[in-house]
Chain A
Amino acid sequence: MAQIPFSNEIKTLRFLTGEMTQGDLGDKVGVTRQTIAAIEQGKYSPSLEVAFRIAHVFGKPLEDVFRWQNDIT
């Protein structure tokens, strides 16, 4: 599988938000804990809706949560 072209700060943001668990974030976003884990590890590229929902949970703009990697065109 091709590497997805963006990184994310979900793990850090979870830690900064009262050490929120992957399961808690999943419940808030409406996906399973395993899906949050896959997104965090860069194994799964979420839909735009889920990406926005994750950013919304942390109260951050999308680009603070997901970052396009400059070395990938």
Chain B
Amino acid sequence: MSFREKIHWVALFGLIVAFGWYFMAYPWHIANTQQGVWAAVGMLIPVTIIFLIPMIAGTVYFAIRTPKEANLKEDEREKTIHLRGTHLAYYPLVLGVWANIFFLINGIGFGYSVNILMATLVVSEVIRVGSQLYFYRKGA
């Protein structure tokens, strides 16, 4: 398994744990109030920390274990994998943004809107990282 593939696994783990916690712990009963918006903003701080800790620890750990691989430039196969994953993630991102526009026009509150955007971002990221891992496993 290459250095970048390992980092992708760590990123997927971090995403699921950090945003899994966010959506489980979010106070949904006040989502459509001003406090709900601030709760979302406030919870982004621990989410960022939960996501960054395994990313930094994983990167440092794997870089120490395989320093040669960590310093290698991304090659053409890895670039292709990254482009294909990003391409796939574009669709849920667009769908989520359009859904959000639709809901906003129809009078949804900002609290829900923020969470729909957050969910859109998370789903897109999971699809991006997940599909890139799939392509890494498959060969390209």
A interface residues, tally (CB under 8 Å)? 15
Identify which of A1, A33, A44, A46 gathers the most chain B CB atoms within 10 Å of its CB. Answer: A44
State the Cβ distance, A32 to closest chain B Cβ, in Å: 5
The reply to whether B140 and A31 form a contact with Cβ atoms under 8 Å apart is no
* Count: A-B pairs, CB below 8 Å: 38
Contact of B2 among A32, A43, A44, A47 (CB under 8 A): A32
User: B1-26 toward A: CB 8 Å interface, digit per residue (1/0)?
Assistant: 11001000000000000000000000
A-B CB proximity, top 10 nearest:
A43-B139, A44-B140, A31-B75, A38-B139, A35-B77, A34-B2, A44-B139, A35-B75, A32-B75, A32-B2
Q: Which residues of B contact A (CB under 8 A)?
A: 1-2, 5, 69, 72-73, 75-78, 136, 138-140
